[in-house]
Amino acid sequence: MQYRSLGRTGVQVSTLVLGAMNFGSIGKTTQDQVTAMIDVALDGGINLIDTADMYSQGESERMVGKAVAGRRDDIVLATKATMPMGDERNHRGSSRRWLVTAVDDSLRRLNVDHIDLYQMHRWDPDTGDGETLSALTDLQRAGKIRYFGSSTFPAYRIVQAQWAARENRLSRYVTEQPAYSILQRGIEAHVLPAAEEYGLGVLAWSPLASGWLSGAIRANREISTSRSVMLPDRFDTTIPANRAKLDAVEKLAVLADEAGLSMIQLALGFVTAHPGVTSAIIGPRTPDHLHAQLAAADTVLSADLLDAIDTIVAPGIDLAPGEKFDTPPALLDPALRRR
């Protein structure tokens, strides 16, 4: 396993991060399975675990808390807030009112006295940066969180938040967690340059592109994954964007085979090769998934192989632009672009 500094914090983290989204009802995993996977991850050198309050509505945090009991000090523990937690309209977002409650809820579920990295799961357009950063700074000073970061923020919001922190003399976001893979390279155009400019650690999620780069999805093979049930449009190969992804996967499979690598090694090695990326977040649902992904921990792609990938999916290009999670709200809601 390789280790890198998490932005300018000085905290050393593994280049692979154990993501806990599949822990609990989402991935249909039991506590024993979760504990076993965390054991394997820690033995494999992973020292950062990333979860969120909304993963299975708190169940993931509770499972992680039980699994890390007794070895908390050896783990960099990250979680997230802002996504809805139930139907109550104020149990979501990035307001001070909610974050003060949400962080205490996460601490209780995780059964810890502090969170190492507390991330805003999405940008909240209804809450000003000053409000959110002030609340996070107070939580940091209270010792409940050590650092805080953003997740899936568009580049202009990353810049705006850095400016707001400086203008108001508040602590700032020290990390960003964007979606990034060979098939979705759009963040290379704006998000990664902004992150590098401000010295942010970058924890890339979905490096296997929701399973497209796992080796399980190939031409003339039935697509059968849990994601295809939840998000059928992401895997319908009659949709042009998905056809483009499938065509790219076939070409990438040839590259991987010629290089003596698995598709997982190619995909994770690509993400961690970018100088702006600190770590890639893996999200295994089973121990077999985890073992296959840990095998990529020390994969280093040659310059020639990275150049060959560029000819298949050009730098800065998203093969499925409709899958972006950082689109400005006015592009999604016509009411926001009308006078």
Amino acid occupying residue 95:
S
* Residue 55 designated active-site: yes
pLDDT tens for each residue of 85-106: 999 999 999 999 999 999 999 9
pLDDT tens for each residue of 104-129: 999 999 999 999 999 999 999 999 99
Rounded distance between C-alpha atoms, residue 158 and residue 195, angstroms: 8
Instruction: Tell me the domain boundaries of the chain.
Output: 3-337
For 69, other C-beta atoms within 10 Å of its C-beta total 12
pLDDT tens for each residue of 164-215: 999 999 999 999 999 999 999 999 999 999 999 999 999 999 999 999 999 9
Average per-residue pLDDT in the chain? 94
pLDDT band at 25 (very low <50, low <70, confident <90, very high): very high
Rounded distance between C-alpha atoms, residue 338 and residue 23, angstroms: 42
SS (H, E, C) 267-322: HHHHHHHCCCCCEEEECCCCHHHHHHHHCCCCCCCCHHHHHHHHHHCCCCCECCHH
Q: Which residue has the tokens 């997982």?
A: 264
Q: Are strands 201-204 and 279-282 parallel, antiparallel or unpaired?
A: parallel
Alpha helices by DSSP H, the chain: 31-43, 59-68, 96-110, 129-141, 155-167, 191-197, 226-230, 240-259, 263-273, 287-294, 303-312, 329-332
> What is the sign, positive or negative, of the torsion defined by CA atoms of 71, 49, 2, 172?
negative
pLDDT tens for each residue of 248-272: 999 999 999 999 999 999 999 999 9
Q: Are strands 145-151 and 175-177 parallel, antiparallel or unpaired?
A: parallel
Judge whether 73 and 45 are in contact, CB under 8 Å.
no
Q: Which residues contact 171 (CB under 8 A, 6 or more apart)?
A: 133, 136, 137, 140, 148, 165
pLDDT tens for each residue of 127-146: 999 999 999 999 999 999 99
3, 55, 147, 156: the active-site residue: 55
Judge whether 132 and 94 are in contact, CB under 8 Å.
yes
Rounded distance between C-alpha atoms, residue 92 and residue 81, angstroms: 8
| pTM across the whole model | 0.94
Of 89, 79, 31, nearest to 55 by C-alpha is 79
For 270, other C-beta atoms within 10 Å of its C-beta total 24
The fold of 3-337 is TIM Barrel (3.20.20)
Q: Which residues contact 262 (CB under 8 A, 6 or more apart)?
A: 215, 256, 292, 295, 296
Phi, psi of 71 (to 5 degrees): -140, 25
SS (H, E, C) 29-47: CCHHHHHHHHHHHHHCCCC
Q: For position 225, what pLDDT does the model report?
A: 59
- What is the average pLDDT across 229-239? 81
Q: Which residue has the tokens 């090695």?
A: 269
pLDDT band at 327 (very low <50, low <70, confident <90, very high): confident
